[in-house]
Structure 1
Amino acid sequence: MGLLEDCIFFFCSSPTTVLGIVVLLLVLYLVSASFTFGKMGIEPPGPRRLPILGNLLQLDLKRPYRTLCELSKIYGSVFTVYFGTSKVVVLAGYKTVKEALVNNADVFGDRDITPISQDTNRGHGILFANGESWKEMRRFALSTLRDFGMGKRVAEDKILEECGHLIQMFEKHEGKPFDTTRPLNYATSNIISSIVYGSRFEYDDPRFKNLVSRVNERVRIGGSLAIQLYNMFPRLLHWIKNRQVILKNVEMTVRDVKDLIKHLKETLNPHTCRGLVDCFLIRKQKEEDSCVKDTHYHEQNLLFTVINLFSAGTDTTATTLRWGLLLMAKYPHIQDRVQEELRTVIGSRQVRVDDRKSLPYTDAVIHEVQRLANIVPMAIPHKTSRDIVFQGHFIKEGTTVFPLLTSVLFDESEWESPHTFNPSHFLDKEGKFIKRDAFMPFSAGRRLCLGESLAKMELFLFFTSILQRFRFTPPPGVSEEDLDLTPAMGFTLPPSPHKLCACVLSINNEEES
């Protein structure tokens, strides 16, 4: 026998020696663990996991955020779960999420790039990127969005113009039941399109309709069980249909965006920026002329920055508005109070952003819609940039982190009635609007939604303009109680499919006549 075989034979034939080795290894492990605990703290607790499957059998993958909230009641505000073999640290509750994302923003500010995100974005753009490229693209996008009026009068005028087109679409249904999804998606998408491309699209433009439809498809499939499993076991499940659908979807979107950019490039005036694409092209040309090495202003970053902005600007605001109109139909007494406040304060004139301070109840309703809608319950996954001892727990560099936003928006220690639709959460005893620290629908820290101020303006102007004109009710034969508030599955959480009636308010008819 060879040396290796001799050693194996010796160890196996000598129980005393085997026992000694086991004891030695155990001692070394305990010393190592003790040293790690003394120096860094112990890793976050969590449920016992199975090999390969991790905690999958304990998680409701259709609503994982609900299971994680329940687990936080057992294991605390910082705990560990395994999605397959992937270790995830979950942060629950307002104080913990804020401490991580805001007070330790440098550690918890990286993005965890899932396999499907890597497949579709390839490390480019803003949403699913890290490092210097992400920093530069975010800085550029934020600066450009501000230059084009994000949070200012210029953007307000664009939104109010789009309100007119949206109202016309609603009027075409003549009070009959319809699905609000497409009109709201088209309207919100046109706001970001006007900033990115420099102009809006007509609602019947085939390319525009396809771009919006593909955004909806990506968001819906991106949260599917199949994609979640692919993210856990990418080598085993790269063949699944939903992944192929998303890859084809992105391929077609890239083709359309390239065509739009090509047209803008052909008509580019280096002295005038019509939108973000123009600004990027001009910056790209300057860096090429200056022979800048390793520039971040290249075609791939342009393509995926545009796609990221278009997708985020289309889905999240439209989804929130859909929830808002559904909740108005569900709770007509709240809709009554909103419309009474609008009648009293605004009358028949156009609502402006400056009116917000004079409409405290309406403002509170919009905020409560955002809170209850909870459309990004687990945020987009983060990743630690270095080792950290957080609340006494050691979290290793490169660990995936889920800031559980749903646990913030429904934190029982922060909200008086977290699971009910209650606009009083944002009103004081005198009926004045109050800000709440635990209102965190846009996340926080380094990954705070860069379009937050634009989204807030859109939500306020679209919601008030629509409620000035229409009263929303369930379809004939459906009661308010029958309206389902169960969210559908997706990367974000939209309402379940439904139809509403938008009836023109009689006051408008009287004024027009």
Structure 2
Amino acid sequence: MQLSLGNMISSLWEGASLQNLLLLSAIVLILTHYLQRRKKHLNYPPGPLGLPLLGNFLQMDLKKPQITIQKFVKKYGNIFCTHVGSQSFITITGLPLIKEVLVNQGEEFIDRPKFPIHLHILTSSGLIMSNGQVWKQQRRFALMTLRNFGLGKKTLEDRIRVEAKYLTEAIREEKGQPFDPHFAINNAVSNIICSVTFGHRFEYHDSQFRELLKTMDNIMKLLARWECQLFNIIPSIMKFLPGPHQKLFRENTKVKSFVEDVIKQHKENLNEEEPQDFIEAYLKELSKDNIHYSFNENNLVYCTLDLFFAGTETTSTTLRWALLYMALYPEIQGKIQAEIDRVIGQSRQPTMADKENMPYTNAAVHEVQRMGDIIPFNVPRMAAVDTTVAGYHVPKGAMIMTNLTALHRDPKEWATPETFNPEHFLENGEFKKRESFLPFSVGKRACLGEQLARAELFLFFTSLLQKFTFQPPPNTQLSLDFRSGLTVSPLPYKICAIPREM
């Protein structure tokens, strides 16, 4: 007797094991989820199949996400899509497509995405994560104010040179013994942006400021934890659960409270006639009539936080990579020091005017940035409207990641992509700019502090190599292993700074 379709399904269901039923249910859910995503638009970029709710979350190596992404590039090409929760991430690889997104379609991709964890700790204020008129007004004011306080001028260069003296003295106190340069470099770099935003620097032995720098470092580490990434998928649940994300929120509150206290002190001693720093300039702006609605004390806090974080972390991390590479490549360090001795000598400090006459040193700094790979996927963007890239549909709200790791390690662009080699930036003994070198991004949302960072990198790096030779501690093998967080930084290491006898 022939069974009806309903009876057949019922019979199969009753005979199946629980394990097989769960597996079948999972497959059905995955296929349904996949087809629903593809149904949205037939010309969506390709990409790996993901799980319901989690998307491709479990396929990512959160400790080294750039490795996972490069595997996807090989499989799916220079534009592909991944999903985490309800968010779509479109990864762009190759200089032509990166320029298409960040320059040619700059307005379409000018916005920053709204990650739940960033909204929880940063809101949508400030300079980095804000959008629209809020971003335009705050960026314009910040640039104008930074220029008023010396950005691109000799006054700010002089501040860097003074700080370089403090840093070399702090390192000299180590007397050639193994030490971790992390927080001395952090302090030095942070003091430059602190002098502009807060109006003063902090001593290297200031325990309170040292603790603040450690708190900032914790924030960088915690943001990469899987619990914090899971917060982006199910924030309504994760905010009630214990874990590293809760520590992240507490650490962020500490830094925010520090900035709020500094602002409070400025309000009590305000000099409205001649502002001495960014905070005073902003407070003066708040006293004016008919200012843009985005100017308020909340935005002052977040703009100051953005300047503080961005003005410290990336440059400090690059310099830490620089000293590590110098210790691992002594012959390159020797060539840099020979150029320093020839152009500057030991009787005076380096200046930015020396840079033009020091192509090898300049090339080495650029090579540190290329190999250090500080921000592998750039600061993410978001499609402000429905658009197309490389013929594929990119929906409004999709996150855009530009693959700087692949760009800076492209064998078609670099002779020895996996090897530290300053010759990449030299041609016939002269420094050569490379179009495929974008550590500060490009377009309208390129790094606001690029000019300052370039000056700091050259002056700090040259000052340190003028006075010291950096070596591994005896019987120690230094490693290029890294830690992924908000930036990619070297694992903690100790190094010997041997004073140079001239």
TM-score, structure 1 length as denominator? 0.88
Aligned equivalent of 2:157: 156
Deviation of 1:325 after TM superposition, in Å, equals 0.3
Q: Residue type of the partner of 1:376?
A: I
Distance 1:267 1:397 in 2: 46
Deviation of 1:211 after TM superposition, in Å, equals 2.5
Partners of 1:212 and 1:314 within 8 A in 2: no
Deviation of 1:50 after TM superposition, in Å, equals 2.3
Q: Residue type of the partner of 2:105?
A: N
Aligned equivalent of 1:434: 432
Distance 1:95 1:469 in 2: 42
Residue number among 321, 324, 327 corresponding to 2:325 in the alignment: 327
Aligned equivalent of 1:406: 405
Deviation of 1:49 after TM superposition, in Å, equals 2.0
Deviation of 1:35 after TM superposition, in Å, equals 12
Aligned equivalent of 1:104: 105
- The within-5 A match list for 1:175-324 is 175-238=176-239, 239-287=241-289, 290=290, 292=291, 295-324=293-322
Distance 1:232 1:416 in 2: 41
Identify which range, 407-416 or 315-324, moves more after superposition: 407-416
Partners of 1:62 and 1:225 within 8 A in 2: no
Partners of 1:97 and 1:408 within 8 A in 2: no
**Residue deviations 1:284-331, cap 9 Å, x none?**
0113xx5x5x62111110001101110111111010000000000000
Identify which range, 151-160 or 450-459, moves more after superposition: 151-160
Helix, strand or coil at the partner of 2:288: helix
Residue number among 471, 475, 481 corresponding to 1:486 in the alignment: 481
Aligned length: 468
Aligned equivalent of 2:334: 336
TM-score, structure 2 length as denominator? 0.90
Runs of 4+ in 1 over 3 A off after TM superposition: 33-37
Helix, strand or coil at the partner of 1:107: coil
Distance 1:234 1:319 in 2: 30
Deviation of 1:36 after TM superposition, in Å, equals 6.0
Partners of 1:226 and 1:240 within 8 A in 2: no
Aligned equivalent of 1:22: none
Q: Aligned Cα RMSD in Å?
A: 2.0
Aligned equivalent of 1:501: 496
The percent of aligned pairs where both chains have the same amino acid is: 40
Partners of 2:62 and 2:224 within 8 A in 1: no
Deviation of 1:378 after TM superposition, in Å, equals 1.5
Distance 1:103 1:146 in 2: 28
Partners of 2:53 and 2:84 within 8 A in 1: no
Gaps of 5+ in 1: 1-11, 14-29, 508-513
Partners of 1:224 and 1:489 within 8 A in 2: no
Distance 1:278 1:313 in 2: 18
Deviation of 1:86 after TM superposition, in Å, equals 2.5
Distance 2:394 2:97 in 1: 14
Residues 43 and 285 from structure 1, CA distance in 2 versus in 1: closer, same or farther, beyond 3 angstroms? same
State yes or no: 1:374 paired with 2:373. yes
Aligned equivalent of 1:468: 466
Q: Residue type of the partner of 1:128?
A: M
Q: Residue type of the partner of 1:71?
A: F
Q: Residue type of the partner of 1:107?
A: E
Deviation of 1:202 after TM superposition, in Å, equals 1.8
Q: Residue type of the partner of 1:413?
A: K
Residues 87 and 252 from structure 1, CA distance in 2 versus in 1: closer, same or farther, beyond 3 angstroms? same
Aligned equivalent of 2:17: none
Partners of 2:374 and 2:488 within 8 A in 1: yes
Deviation of 1:208 after TM superposition, in Å, equals 2.2
Deviation of 1:125 after TM superposition, in Å, equals 0.6
Distance 1:383 1:156 in 2: 35
Deviation of 1:212 after TM superposition, in Å, equals 1.7
Aligned equivalent of 1:388: 387
Identify which range, 249-258 or 364-373, moves more after superposition: 249-258
Aligned equivalent of 2:364: 365
Deviation of 1:231 after TM superposition, in Å, equals 1.8
Distance 1:113 1:411 in 2: 31
Partners of 2:378 and 2:441 within 8 A in 1: yes
Residues 449 and 35 from structure 1, CA distance in 2 versus in 1: closer, same or farther, beyond 3 angstroms? closer
Deviation of 1:492 after TM superposition, in Å, equals 0.5
Distance 1:61 1:477 in 2: 32
Partners of 1:113 and 1:129 within 8 A in 2: no
Residues 497 and 206 from structure 1, CA distance in 2 versus in 1: closer, same or farther, beyond 3 angstroms? closer
Partners of 2:112 and 2:130 within 8 A in 1: yes
Q: Residue type of the partner of 2:461?
A: F
Distance 1:404 1:99 in 2: 13
Distance 1:61 1:229 in 2: 11
Aligned equivalent of 2:21: none
Deviation of 1:57 after TM superposition, in Å, equals 3.6
- The within-5 A match list for 1:418-429 is 418-428=417-427
